[in-house]
Chain A
């Protein structure tokens, strides 16, 4: 929707009318301005003017404001957890490749030759393998870095990206399965979806980290991060399935029938006709599911992992820095906001694009 064109002068008049048009509006405006006057200057004062920016010790924070020295001292932990310092280039390489791939995928429409498109497809499919190999190591002389050393923003992104990437195709299959004419498939999908949607994520994490190992035979230890990843993916898939089902149900029956009438098989009609329309319809739902998944990853702190939020608590348990959790939380909140906000902006541009 486009707002009707208003001349600049009119705009000011409208604004004036909205703010001071009536007695109530005037009073509300004055109260709001007073409230802003009370809150904004102290916030700016604390975060910027009186803040401590330089130093390498907690004792360098002599001003009353925020101690941003905390971030500069602990940045490596905040970003990479306890990943060994001399191996961090591997993670930097991984994220570099990830960003290149992401840009290529976003602008893939501009790639013309089929060869380029094929290359992009192949690298997308192989990226997870390469990324995992780089992160974990154990080949070409790269030392193994066990997953218990993974942490910080890196761990949060690993859990979120794996959850997003696996939950989408799984959710798609579950949504289709739920509409299947084969009773056994339909019942299985309904059962799966309702079971996983019926429990909170924290329960899933506890099952994965506390209960599951007790059921395993003696001496069998499945990596704890792997258990969490599987749990998070299945959990997210159940939600994804319901979102996609909403899209499927919104497609008029005529589309299904028309697809059938042109002689397309089930999978052809789904992937060529139905799903492109259905998924475009539910992009906002899908993206908000992704966003809440990213934020829910912070729950892993409770089962002893140092995600981006948990690492703040961990680093602030150093007695020298115990007073500076606030700064850490603000920093983490800011980064979370940047990630989630850019995702939601990207979804807006996707919505505007015509489907196919």
Chain B
């Protein structure tokens, strides 16, 4: 999540390289080069066969399905948090899908364009199940384990003061120390980014004894980024994300998508590509959005499979629910 001063400096010195026509390049090359992490549970990690899987990986597969009609036509390029921006700036990758927080400085100075958000992460709380706590507002008087010297501390202070709750902090230098202190019962609550909490939970002696609360008290919008000045490609990535959400709004899933052939619903017909010009406008095949859902499912399915209730991580959907269910996901009209 930290910006590297050096890469900021250098990208400021060098005028951001303009790569036009990634969409055409990708179509010609027949595959997408997708920058992912070098291993982060739930976002980009190896499955049992050693193939890539995860939230960020599914975004790449969705784009490949939309552009090339085949979600397997992706080359995954592992990047570290230090090399990720250079890899995108120099054209080593076509898209950066790597738990990257969308911020103003990255969107402008680093020459990136964030195409949207595929996961609203943020600071959350983990507690023992047997405490019977359902919401962070019930944490009055709790002792809280966390890292020192990060924004984590200020977020906690703000949240507890705003809700008139008292608390006690137990501070540690390293995340592994925080986790083991919490596991040994030195505090009631463990706070960190939710995705991080979920991974740490699996390392506890009895992962099932702990739950992550729904509350999110800070903003870490994670999303895929492309290069500045390549609007066609930017649009494709942006509308791929939208299509995933639209599919969930329309209740179109990987398993039921073939049952809508004779639909009277104009939104569904547009989504399947049987009417309207969505594909043509994006320079894609008419069935681009149907291909996405056939390949990876809708947003809800991706979430459940990789980080949600079907995965071991079991991160509550929280803000990542549809707007109609109390979250903030909202598909811009696809017409």
Contact = CB atoms under 8 A, between A and B. Distances in A.
Interface of A: 73, 76-77, 82, 146, 148, 206, 209-211, 213-214, 216, 218-219, 221, 224, 301-306, 310, 313-320, 322-323
Interface centre among B41, B42, B46 (most CB of A within 10 A): B46
Contact of A303 (B6, B37, B48, B82): B82
Interface string B296-326: 0000000000000001110000000000000
A303 B47 CA distance: 22
Contacts of B75: 146, 148
B42 A214 contact: no
B153 to A, nearest CB: 26
B313 A302 contact: no
Interface string B153-192: 0000000000000000000000000000000000000000
Contacts of B50: 76-77, 82
Contact of B45 (A146, A302, A305, A319): A319
Given A77-B46, A210-B86, A318-B41, 17 more contacts: A76-B50, A209-B86, A210-B6, A214-B89, A214-B90, A302-B80, A304-B77, A304-B80, A310-B38, A314-B38, A314-B78, A317-B37, A317-B41, A317-B46, A319-B312, A322-B202, A322-B203
B244 to A, nearest CB: 22
A73 B26 CA distance: 35
A206 B6 CA distance: 10
B104 interface: no
Contact of A210 (B47, B83, B199): B83
A322 B313 CA distance: 11
A73 B82 CA distance: 30
A60 to B, nearest CB: 13
A56 to B, nearest CB: 9
A187 B245 CA distance: 64
Nearest to B37: A317
Name the interface size band of chain B: 35 or more
Contacts of A315: 39, 46
B321 to A, nearest CB: 22
Contacts of A224: 92
Q: For the complex, would chain B's binding face be called helix, strand, loop or mixed by DSSP majority?
A: loop
Contacts of B203: 322-323
Interface centre among B17, B39, B92 (most CB of A within 10 A): B39
Given A211-B10, A318-B45, A322-B202, A221 B90 contact: yes
B92 A213 contact: yes
Contact of B38 (A146, A306, A318): A306
Q: Would you list the 5 A-B pairs with minimal beta carbon distance, nearest first?
A: A317-B39, A314-B39, A317-B45, A213-B90, A319-B312
Interface string B27-60: 0000000000111111011111010000000000
A302 B37 CA distance: 11
Nearest to A325: B203
5 contacts: A214-B10, A218-B91, A304-B80, A306-B78, A318-B46
A318 to B, nearest CB: 5
Contacts of B42: 319
Contacts of B44: 317
A219 B25 CA distance: 12
B77 A148 contact: yes
A312 B156 CA distance: 34
A213 to B, nearest CB: 4
B312 A314 contact: no
A210 B42 CA distance: 26
B332 interface: no
A220 to B, nearest CB: 9
B14 interface: yes
Contact of A319 (B10, B78, B313): B313
A315 B45 CA distance: 7
B48 A209 contact: no
Contacts of B313: 319
Contacts of A314: 38-39, 45-46, 78
Contacts of A210: 6-7, 82-83, 86
B79 interface: yes
A305 B82 CA distance: 12
A322 B92 CA distance: 30
A318 B203 CA distance: 12
Interface in B86-109: 86-87, 89-92
A310 B6 CA distance: 24
Contacts of A305: 38, 78
Contacts of A320: 48, 312
A306 B46 CA distance: 12
Interface centre among A76, A213, A315 (most CB of B within 10 A): A213
A303 B83 contact: yes
B57 to A, nearest CB: 12
Nearest to B84: A304
A316 B199 CA distance: 11
Given A304-B80, A315-B46, A219 B91 contact: yes
Contacts of B7: 210
Given A221-B90, A304-B80, A214 B14 contact: yes
A148 B78 contact: yes
A213 B39 contact: no
A348 to B, nearest CB: 38
A318 B83 contact: no
B194 to A, nearest CB: 15
Interface centre among A206, A218, A302, A322 (most CB of B within 10 A): A322
Contact of A301 (B17, B80, B202): B80
Contacts of A216: 90
A326 to B, nearest CB: 11
A1 B48 CA distance: 54
Given A305-B78, A314-B38, A319-B312, A221 B86 contact: no
A206 B82 CA distance: 8
A99 B311 CA distance: 44
B206 to A, nearest CB: 11
A206 B10 CA distance: 13
A277 to B, nearest CB: 45
B95 to A, nearest CB: 16
A303 B199 CA distance: 23
Contacts of A303: 80, 82-83
